[in-house]
Amino acid sequence: IYFDNTALAQFIGIVALNFILFSGGLDTHWQTISPILWRGVSLATIGVFMTAVAVGLFVHYVFDFTWAEGILLGSIVSATDAAAVFSILRNRGIALKGYIRPVLELESGSNDPMAYFLTISLTSIVMSGETDMSVLVPSFFTEFIIGGAMGYLMGRTSVWLINNIGIRSEGLYPVLTLALALFTYSATHYIGGNGFLAIYLCALIMGNSNMVHRRSLLRFYDGQAWLMQIVMF
């Protein structure tokens, strides 16, 4: 089957990843991740960066890539895949000692913003041949701050709206939640924030709040995450 449409492939991948991250955030318990929050965040940011640099060093010296090309390749492979981690740890019932499982789940669910930022930045550097840290560093913090703020705001707003809108048909609540999730990503991306961080944080707040039809929404998005994993892989 001949396929050569990068824009469509990117669109499908982003939509699928949004569903997977949203489902993972809904099903993550705050009591589980709060003791290991900084470990997971450190792995999702510093760990991803160190992996990208390590891979970049290797391919630079072994395969004669340029520094920028090497780190770009490292950025692409640096992030743990959230779909694979959630699927293996949750659906196969693998028991890991101590805090290893929640650290892995938190890291895999929150590392995409860092990998996304590195990949986009290094792609621009490779194409232009110029490195402007005065632009990249502020852009990094801007994306994360806006993404975090939007995720928190939309999480609280979504919980309030779902609890107070009073829809008579329970079957429409997954539709409302879907609209809120996609709006969270799209609005955050539109104003310059990181949409992946926003949608994961939004789902994390929703999943740990008192919300009507919470159990049915969890089941619905668990099924959607499975479907998106099939589409993605």
Of 159, 171, 167, 161, nearest to 210 by C-alpha is: 159
Quick one: pLDDT at residue 94? 64
Of 120, 5, 118, nearest to 53 by C-alpha is: 118
Quick one: pLDDT at residue 86? 67
Structure tokens at 8: 């469509």
Confidence tier at 100 by pLDDT (50, 70, 90): confident
* pLDDT over 80 (residue 111): yes
Chain segment 139-178, per-residue pLDDT in tens: 878 888 999 999 999 999 999 999 999 888 888 999 999 9
Give pTM, 2 decimals. Answer: 0.80
User: How many whole angstroms from its chain centre is CA 228?
Assistant: 14
**Strongest mean pLDDT among 18-32, 123-137, 199-213:** 199-213
Cα(173)–Cα(154) distance, integer angstroms: 16
Quick one: pLDDT at residue 225? 84
Chain segment 187-207, per-residue pLDDT in tens: 999 999 989 889 989 999 999
